[in-house]
Structures are given as structure tokens and as C-alpha cells.
Amino acid sequence: MDTHALGLISSATDGLENVRTALVEPAIARGWQVAVTLTPTAGTWLDDNGELPRIEDTSGLPCRVAPRMPREASPHPPIDCFLVCPASANTVAKLALGLADNQALTTVCEAIGAQSVPIVVFPLINAAHVRHPAWNPHLTALREAGVHLLTGDEYWPLHEPRSAPPDKDLPWTKILDVVEAVSG
């Protein structure tokens, strides 16, 4: 299999602590080169728990959190597919509104506008976020922009309280299957 570059964009929400073992390592095993970009809070969380250097060692690429200087070359290869996972409600709302106020959101907002590569988004949120009146319009805006949203009970049943820790519930393999399906 030819190596393709997966741009993994992660935000600070449940499941973030499992990104390396649940997404980066399995994607690499499937033949992907994985370039990770994190929202600022996600970067802080993964730096605090020691996962940031582990992700970099596993992927062989630096994790981007801050933007690079204009004189610096991009540390990541050209991306063939973006996976925004896990995506917080804040990240989904900002993507829908085109608010690119950090490196992770800038990367995906540009990809949405360019419409040159597939974008898969897995929102990992709670039922209160789904009931917010702005939630459905945000999803509609992203769908109309061609974003592949992994929502609904087949991906993440919204139940209160959660019956198991997030890593037990999340369909990591199914998420990577969708990435491969939409990226050809």
C-alpha cells in the first residue's frame, strides 16, 4: 500500500489521551503517515500527561500546536485526508463558523475552503451540547461544505451518565475505516 498522509487534528475532550494508541499507531499500521496538530488546550493536556513526545516518537513528526514562522517550512507533508478526532463542541462550532483562531482550526478551515481533500470529523460531546439550539445548524453548515460527520448512535451513543470510560466506548476502528473509505 502506498503511504498517504493523514492530518489528525485533535481537541481537548474525552478520548484525547488515547489518540496515540487508538488512532496514530493503528493508522500507521494501515500504511498512513500521521501528522498530528492539536488545539492549544489539547497540546497542554498531552504535554502534561507525557503523551506529546510519545506521539512525536511514534509518528516521526512534530506535533503542531503553535503556528510556524513565515520563514519556516511546514513540518508536515501534504495531507491526503484530515481527521478531526476527537472534536469538542467548541471545535465543531468554530469549524462551522470558519473561526480559525489557532493552528489546528486554521489547518482544517483552510482545507474546508479549498475542498481539495476529504475531511472527517468525529464530535465527542455530551447530550447537553447536542440539545443546544446552535448544534444542528453547525452540523448542517459542515455537511453542506462536504465534511464527513461521524455522528449518531452508531458512532457515539449520547447517554447520561456514561456507563464506561470513553476509551471503552469509542469506535476507533470504525473511524479509521471511514477515513479510508472517503479517501479512496
- Domain extent for 50: 4-183
Question: What is the longest distance spanned by two Cα atoms in the chain?
Answer: 49
Peptide bond into 67 cis (omega under 30): no
Q: Half-sphere exposure of 125 toward its Cβ, with a 13 Å CA cutoff?
A: 21
User: pLDDT 10s digit of each residue in the chain, 184 long?
Assistant: 467 999 999 999 989 999 999 999 999 999 999 999 999 999 999 999 999 999 999 999 999 999 999 999 999 999 999 999 999 999 999 999 999 999 999 999 999 999 999 999 999 888 888 889 999 999 999 999 999 999 877 777 654 444 444 555 678 999 999 999 999 8
pLDDT at 135: 93
pLDDT at 76: 96
pLDDT at 141: 97
pLDDT at 5: 98
**Contact in structure between 45 and 17 (CB atoms under 8 Å):** yes
What is the domain-level CATH number for residue 161?
Answer: 3.40.50.1950
pLDDT at 35: 98
Q: What is the pTM of this model?
A: 0.93
pLDDT at 160: 45
Q: Residues 6 or more apart from 116 whose CB is under 8 A from it?
A: none
Q: How far apart are CA 86 and CA 158, in angstroms?
A: 15
Say how many domains are in the chain: 1
